[in-house]
């Protein structure tokens, strides 16, 4: 455990510059244990620290780990160009503390998106060498056939890839939907693989990462939640 001054604590949690946070405290906007604190230099143990700002409760977190049910027409970028960014769906404090998407989903792709300010976590979840399986449900323009599934499992050649890319698992859900599991995380991979196999992806949703399922989180599109210890354990890479 470590003690920090209240202004530093608030700064680390994304409430603004240290000077701004000192002003928040001096104006009586911060309370701990139900008591207003007005001395920004007062020190507190950060482990398990609960506080409120403008009456809204917060828990001190060294890092934040989030799951977002990404809607369509949002960009996974801190500097979006054509659509709103996914960070606009989160409290401002997360953007201030450099929370960012773990990998990317296309603007028109929906589903499970992880976000964090922990660089090590982001690397382990997004690096192909860690073999993190991601499950997608793809809606196709043309009917799904056994031949299409076989092609995706066997591997298809993409123009900018030296070797064919294959699905870890692929199965038919209904006439125009298939479940596909990938580990590589290449640019537009599902869409490009379907195109290379002679079909077209008309809609795409990421439903699962490792053992963490979007359905189990109970999030509507645009909603987010903190990841608890059990959820983080379910995201442990295979290697």
pLDDT tens-digit map of 103-131: 889 899 999 999 999 999 998 888 777 78
Tokens of 216: 């189990």
Topology of domain 65-128+212-234 in CATH is Alpha-Beta Plaits (3.30.70)
Instruction: Kindly tell me the burial class for residue 141, based on how many C-beta atoms sit within 10 Å of its own C-beta (0-12, 13-18, 19 or more).
Output: exposed
Active-site residue flag, 106 = yes
Interatomic CA distance for residues 23 and 206, integer angstroms: 43
**Residue 237: predicted pLDDT:** 60
Tell me the HSE value of 118 on the side-chain side, using a 13 A CA sphere: 15
Would you call 92 helix, strand, or coil by DSSP?
Answer: helix
Can you identify the CATH homologous superfamily of domain 3-59?
RNA-binding S4 domain (3.10.290.10)
Q: What is the pLDDT of residues 136-185, one digit of tens each?
A: 999 999 999 999 999 999 988 888 778 888 999 999 999 999 999 998 77
Whether residue 94 is predicted with pLDDT greater than 80 in this model: the reply is yes
Q: Is the distance from CB of 177 to CB of 139 less than 8 angstroms?
A: yes
Whether residue 36 is predicted with pLDDT greater than 70 in this model: the reply is yes
Whether residue 239 is predicted with pLDDT greater than 60 in this model: the reply is no
Give buried/exposed letters for 159-196 (b at 16+ CB in 10 A, else e): eeeeeebbbeebeeeeebebbbebbeeeeebbbbbbeb
Please give the model's pTM, rounded to 2 decimal places. 0.90
Where are the domains positioned within the chain? 3-59, 65-128+212-234, 133-209
Tokens of 60: 């001190």
The region of weakest confidence among 9-13, 42-46, 181-185 is 181-185
Q: 47, 106, 108, 142: which is the annotated catalytic residue? A: 106
Over residues 81-110, the mean pLDDT reads 91
Q: Is the distance from CB of 121 to CB of 65 less than 8 angstroms?
A: yes
Interatomic CA distance for residues 91 and 112, integer angstroms: 18
Q: Residues with Cβ < 8 Å from 162, sequence gap 6 or more? A: none
- C-alpha distance across the termini of the chain, in Å: 31
Whether residue 68 is predicted with pLDDT greater than 90 in this model: the reply is yes
Q: Is the distance from CB of 55 to CB of 45 less than 8 angstroms?
A: no
Q: Do domains 65-128+212-234 and 133-209 have the same CATH topology?
A: yes
CATH hierarchy code of domain 133-209:
3.30.70.1560
The length of the chain, given as a count of residues: 239
Q: What is the pLDDT of residues 207-226, one digit of tens each?
A: 999 999 999 999 999 999 99
Interatomic CA distance for residues 105 and 108, integer angstroms: 8
């Amino acid at each position: 455990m470590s003690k920090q001054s209240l202004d530093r604590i608030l700064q680390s949690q994304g409430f603004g510059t240290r000077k701004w946070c000192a002003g928040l405290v001096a104006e009586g906007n911060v309370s701990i244990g139900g008591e207003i604190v007005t001395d920004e230099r007062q020190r507190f143990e950060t482990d398990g620290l609960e506080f409120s700002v403008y009456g809204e409760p917060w828990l001190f977190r060294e890092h934040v780990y989030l799951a977002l049910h990404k809607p369509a027409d949002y960009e996974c970028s801190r500097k979006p160009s054509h659509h709103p960014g996914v960070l606009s769906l989160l409290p401002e404090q997360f953007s201030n503390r450099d929370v960012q998407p773990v990998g990317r989903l296309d603007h028109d792709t929906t589903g499970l998106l992880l976000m964090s300010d922990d660089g090590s976590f982001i690397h382990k979840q997004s690096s192909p060498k860690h073999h993190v399986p991601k499950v997608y449900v793809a809606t196709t323009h043309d009917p799904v056939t056994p031949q299409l599934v076989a092609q995706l499992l066997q591997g298809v050649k993409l123009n900018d890839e030296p070797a064919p890319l294959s699905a870890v698992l692929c199965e038919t859900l209904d006439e125009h939907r298939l479940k596909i599991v990938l580990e590589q995380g290449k640019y537009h991979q599902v869409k490009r693989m379907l195109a290379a196999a002679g079909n077209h992806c008309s809609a795409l949703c990421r439903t699962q990462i490792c053992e963490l399922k979007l359905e189990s989180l109970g999030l509507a599109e645009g909603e987010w939640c903190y990841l608890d210890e059990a959820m983080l354990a379910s995201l442990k890479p295979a290697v």
